[in-house]
Amino acid sequence: MIARFFCGVFLVALALVSCARAAEPAAKKIEFAIAVHGGAGIEPDALSPDGRRARTRALGQALDVGRKILADGGAALDAVEQTIRLLEDDPLFNAGRGAVFNAAGGHELDATIMDGRTREGGGVAAVTTVKNPISLARLVMTETKHVLLIGHGAEQFADEMRDKRQIERVPNSYFSTDVRREQWRRKVEEEKAARGNKRASGAATMGTVGCVALDKQGNLAAGTSTGGLVNKRWGRVGDSAILGAGTYADNHSCAVSCTGTGELFIRNAVGFHIGALMAFKGMSLDEAVRQVIDEVLPDDSGGLIAVDAQGNISMRFNTEGMARAAADSRGRVEIMLGK
Amino acid sequence: MIARFFCGVFLVALALVSCARAAEPAAKKIEFAIAVHGGAGIEPDALSPDGRRARTRALGQALDVGRKILADGGAALDAVEQTIRLLEDDPLFNAGRGAVFNAAGGHELDATIMDGRTREGGGVAAVTTVKNPISLARLVMTETKHVLLIGHGAEQFADEMRDKRQIERVPNSYFSTDVRREQWRRKVEEEKAARGNKRASGAATMGTVGCVALDKQGNLAAGTSTGGLVNKRWGRVGDSAILGAGTYADNHSCAVSCTGTGELFIRNAVGFHIGALMAFKGMSLDEAVRQVIDEVLPDDSGGLIAVDAQGNISMRFNTEGMARAAADSRGRVEIMLGK
């Protein structure tokens, strides 16, 4: 009698579980997705609790700006630009205000943006008075036949774009912060002490920002913005100014934004590389990203964020940490600094 | 009797042919190979017989410099640098002396070099007083931890390298020639007439030089040098300054040097692209080059030269012509301007 009762209960339970399973909808398609980074090389343990909180909050706010644009049906390109503008304005990151000091005690900024729909893109290097280099990079894409404008010439282009709402000009000192000035002072001392050692450590020099997005129309976009290396000289330009290296987007594969020792990312054409592993070898986004981060790039060289046309997001790095955040239409929201 | 005689003759002939075949050595391995270009977009029919002869002679001389270095067991990197120096010194080509005029009536030069053995490389953009930008690019590779130095900063780096034998400085006017001044004048008029038409024609703006080589040690190298676009402004930089785009070398795949509408070559990471099609899709060098020139790049955008680790050479373009030459250890020597 008792055995029969338990058998009955078991069968009823089984039936209920089966019904619940049948009623469960298939995993919903991801309608939009976005990822943001605030630079690789950050060691979360080296930050104060306040420092960690401030970065987490800033990444969350930036993510939110882009997420809202995408949720409202806006373009991936707009989400990328507006998200990066917010990070450029935030003195915590090495882009726009808060950019590192170069060897001359000033700031030279690089940025790129790329549209996965058209595979057009634009970039600027070594600009000194443009508050939001990512917006100037977008105008290079839409208003010229070029993809890279540099230095004084890029400033002249900015002069000609002065009527555009998004191009605000500032004195170079606008980008300066006390924290970066102190970092520069320490770097100069460190380099004096290490004179003759050609290969300086890369980790201390990171802090680039970037964003990748998929919109409801199925378009991908990517953007990156940076102040480059602390105490850089000789007009050094890194991967954040170079399409195919620090920034890449193609609706047929993925959108990528990188951060790290830019020279390695240029030599390995990292952005294009990820897309090529997907398109030519049939790898998934995450397989391609793992391959490049784990096999192609040396340890401690940096990281990247990437999204594909299905809304899959991959965020990987081979440094101690990478400030990063991701969200999508299925309610995913995550913000992380360390491993 | 006659039938028997002919039958005998036939058998003897057959035996002789067989013997000859057996004695014929297997195709000799290519020990070294080199290819040179002097720019795509040249329409050979538009040149005078003297113009064609001058270009053919100049390409032949440059090829010979590199070929001799390789035949003597020298390094691919040296062959590439010395070959390009000769072309930079020749006023016929848009690199070094003979570079096109920019919008300010001056010259801004870009160059890159890459070592397939180490996959290290160096580049300079918008230099104005360095007689041979390819040699400065090589010093960026060997004497700094960077891969791209631009403008005034690159000139400062050249100042610091003044003791290096290969870095001669010249006034910017050294690069000027009457032919280029006249070309610039025509271009300015043409652009005035076409005001509002954002996409100018690309073909008239080509003339870059480049070299790729395989040496007897099995190392590949590539280099490219250019004056860029006629009447360029805003500090425009093209693919000749960008590793992975205009110049690429990797002993495991190929060495590539490009010429054409640089923006398209950057967006498609053409140098790295060729290597990726070989490494990731198993294409031969020529299949990979065809794929990029015929399928990836739009018509009339340019061309490239490439060599692989077996000494195979591919030189393809989708413009009217491309000044080019090739040689290898098996005695191949060819110089061509048109299709």
Which pLDDT does position A201 carry in this prediction? Answer: 46
Distance set, CA A158 to CA A78, A86, A163 (Å): 19, 20, 10
Closest partner residue to B280 (CB to CB) among A154, A233, A281 is: A281
Q: Report how far residue B213's alpha carbon sits from residue B80's, in angstroms, rounded to the nearest whole number.
A: 7
Answer whether residue B8 is part of any domain: no
Confirm if B145 and A264 have CB atoms less than 8 A apart. no
pLDDT of residue B76 exceeding 80, the answer is: yes
Burial class, B226, CB count within 10 angstroms (exposed 0-12 / middle 13-18 / buried 19+) = buried
Tokens for A267, please give them. 């030599």
Query: Residue type for B181, please?
Result: R
E-assigned strands of chain B?
A: 33-40, 109-115, 120-127, 149-150, 209-214, 220-226, 247-249, 254-260, 302-308, 313-317, 322-328, 333-336
Cβ distance A267 to B243 less than 8 Å, yes or no, reads yes
Which pLDDT does position B20 carry in this prediction? Answer: 47
ipTM of the complex: 0.90
Which pLDDT does position A197 carry in this prediction? Answer: 52
Shortest distance, CA A123 to any CA of chain B (angstroms): 10
Shortest distance, CA A155 to any CA of chain B (angstroms): 8
Answer whether residue B25 is part of any domain: no
The mean pLDDT value for B275-294 works out to 98
pLDDT of residue B1 exceeding 80, the answer is: no
Answer whether B281 touches A (CB < 8 Å): yes
At A149-193, the pLDDT tens digits run 999 999 999 999 988 878 999 999 999 999 999 999 999 998 888
Which pLDDT does position A25 carry in this prediction? Answer: 55
Q: Which of B333, B338, B337 is nearest to B34 (CA)?
A: B333
Answer whether B277 touches A (CB < 8 Å): yes
DSSP labels for B302-314? Answer: EEEEEEETT--EE
Which pLDDT does position A6 carry in this prediction? Answer: 55
Which pLDDT does position B4 carry in this prediction? Answer: 59
Which pLDDT does position B195 carry in this prediction? Answer: 66
Answer whether B151 touches A (CB < 8 Å): yes
Answer whether residue A258 is part of any domain: yes
Cβ distance B266 to A147 less than 8 Å, yes or no, reads yes
Which pLDDT does position B5 carry in this prediction? Answer: 53
Answer whether A287 touches B (CB < 8 Å): no
pLDDT of residue B278 exceeding 70, the answer is: yes
Answer whether residue B5 is part of any domain: no
Q: Which of A329, A336, A326, A289 is nearest to A35 (CA)?
A: A326
Mean pLDDT by 10 residues, chain A (339 residues): 53 49 66 97 86 95 98 98 98 96 96 98 98 98 97 96 88 97 93 65 67 98 96 95 98 98 97 98 98 97 97 97 97 94
> Residues of A with catalytic annotation?
208
Answer whether residue A5 is part of any domain: no
Answer whether residue B173 is part of any domain: yes
Answer whether B242 touches A (CB < 8 Å): yes
Which pLDDT does position A188 carry in this prediction? Answer: 93
Shortest distance, CA B96 to any CA of chain A (angstroms): 20
Distance set, CA A193 to CA A200, A232, B299 (Å): 11, 17, 54
At B41-63, the pLDDT tens digits run 878 888 899 999 999 999 999 99
Minimal Cα distance from A272: which residue of B? Answer: B269
Answer whether residue B47 is part of any domain: yes
CATH classification at residue A192: 3.60.20.30
Query: Residue type for B214, please?
Result: L
Structural domain boundaries, residue A188 = 33-336
Which pLDDT does position A195 carry in this prediction? Answer: 66
Which of A234, A242, A250, A263 is the best mutation test for B, with the most CBs of B within 10 A?
A234
Answer whether residue A12 is part of any domain: no
Cβ distance A237 to B157 less than 8 Å, yes or no, reads no
At B100-126, the pLDDT tens digits run 999 999 999 999 999 999 999 999 999
Which pLDDT does position B201 carry in this prediction? Answer: 46
Q: Is B208 an annotated catalytic residue?
A: yes
pTM of this structure: 0.90
Point out which residues pair with A34 in neighbouring strands. Answer: A213, A327
Q: Report how far residue B163's alpha carbon sits from residue B158's, in angstroms, rounded to the nearest whole number.
A: 10
Look at chain B and report how many structural domains it folds into: 1
pLDDT of residue B90 exceeding 50, the answer is: yes
